[in-house]
Amino acid sequence: MKLRFAPSPTGHLHVGNARIALANWLFARKSGGHLLLRLDDTDTQRSRQDYAEAIEEDLRWLGLDWDELVRQSDRLDRYAAAAEALKASGRLYPCLESEEELAYKREQQRRAGRPPLYDRAALKMTPEQLSRAMANGKVPYWRFKLSNTTVEWQDHVLGRRAVKLTAISDPVLVRADGSPLYTFTSVVDDLDMGITHVIRGEDHVTNTGIQLDLFAALGGDPRKLAFAHLPLLTDADGGPLSKRIGSLSLRQLRRDGIEAASITGYLAGLGTSHDPVPGAPRDLLNGFDLGAVSHSSPRFDPRQMMGLNRKLLHALPFAEIAPRLPEGATEAFWDAVRGNLDTLPEAKHWWEVVQGHIAPISQPDEAEYLAHASENLPAEPWDDATWTAWTNALKAISGRKGKGLFLPLRRALTGEDQGPDMKQLLPLIGRARTEARLAASLQP
């Protein structure tokens, strides 16, 4: 068994790409198969080396690995040879129509109530006509002549699928400049590299019909290829999830503090009846089943993913998270703040609150109460009982309770209206810092 994940290095990986990569990895690893990372980089104008490097880095950050790496740009001679073989068999034929001419033909077909399909006019050219046109500066591009059949397969997600090739225009496989297109290179690679299973998005269903026909034309046995097409993600409102939304790139999610295990756990559960749980790819293997994926498009809701991120952080033990906390952070600090975090970078703010400098909220109407609070600070040592003892004393002095008792103190000591339990924060802030902050809050 051999699978491939084949991104184009023309941009950063998006959550949709990541879902396909994860599905391929889980299927390959659970089945003991071989996973190939193939960079489809024949688009020389848009492909960039920094994007290729970013793809590898982002996949590793997610916890994904691969057994082999291939770049299509290293295989151009192989594609040229395959093209010559198709030309010799009559399945790849030259075309000279300009994009303007093709657009005009499509418009005429629409007006006549016919589907806008390529009419194969180029096949009617004689060798003499082609030679004459080329002598006059015309450079042909090359189309693949599709079979007059219907291609069928049993999809591992969508069930029985069929593509009627007579309802599709013959696809262009080679541009006029000689560069091969994805439809062509993908099939040549799948054949040469012994790919047995292709897991990709539902937007490739029609393309699968074309590629199976091309696979056979190149001497392959389509029966040896299995396909699974995952329904495309939509946004939280059910609309298309644009690949150009930068906020949903893995790079941005990582910068925003979303944990890799939150992303993989969420993506693995999307489109199934299982509630997603945070987990690294290796932790998700046992629960992975392509047969459990729904035929309908799942909604990608960042709020649900954030919920998983909170759940993950709240459960992380100090020993595991310590290397990523601010220098000097203790287990007591982690226990105090983790239940209040959406993302790990927020811990840096709370470390500054307990050990650094804050800007207290102005509370001129609370001056008398805060003065009483400063005068009645408990003696050291401070522990988890200090906050309760202090506020009980202030309650007896002021008659306050609830928010009126607690909020002015929280604002003065943390500069925030909300946050972790003050029972745990107060010992971390310490008596000296507490006294200084109360004094600062009393300044006009």
> Cα(43)–Cα(34) distance, rounded to whole angstroms?
26
> Cα(405)–Cα(392) distance, rounded to whole angstroms?
9
Q: What is the pLDDT of residue 244?
A: 47
> Cα(202)–Cα(107) distance, rounded to whole angstroms?
28
Q: Whats the size of the chain, residue-wise? A: 444
> Cα(186)–Cα(211) distance, rounded to whole angstroms?
8
Q: What is the mean pLDDT of residues 87-113?
A: 95
The answer, as to whether pTM is greater than 0.85, is yes
Three-state secondary structure of 109-176? HHHCCCCCCCCCHHHHCCHHHHHHHHHCCCCCEEEECCCCCEEEEEECCCEEEEEEHHHCCCCEEECC
Q: What is the mean pLDDT of residues 217-224?
A: 96
Encoded tokens for 219: 């001497």
> Cα(257)–Cα(430) distance, rounded to whole angstroms?
29
Tens digits of residue pLDDT in 352-384: 999 999 988 889 999 999 999 999 999 999 999
Nearest to 169 by CA among 95, 240, 113: 95
Per-residue DSSP letter, 40: -
Per-residue DSSP letter, 234: B
Cross-strand pairs, 226: 197
Helix (H, G, I), strand (E, B) or coil at 444: coil
- 217's enclosing H/E stretch is helix 205-217
pLDDT at 243 over 80: no
Q: What are phi and psi of 158, to 5 degrees?
A: -90, -10
Q: What is the pLDDT of residue 53?
A: 97
Tens digits of residue pLDDT in 416-437: 999 999 999 999 999 999 999 9
Q: What is the pLDDT of residue 360?
A: 80
Nearest to 62 by CA among 257, 285, 260: 260
pLDDT at 125 over 80: yes
Least confident of 66-80, 186-200, 229-243, 264-278: 229-243
Q: With bands split at pLDDT 50, 70 and 90, how would you rate the model's confidence at 443?
A: confident
Q: What are phi and psi of 228, to 5 degrees?
A: -140, 120
DSSP notation for 325-342: SPTT--HHHHHHHGGG-S
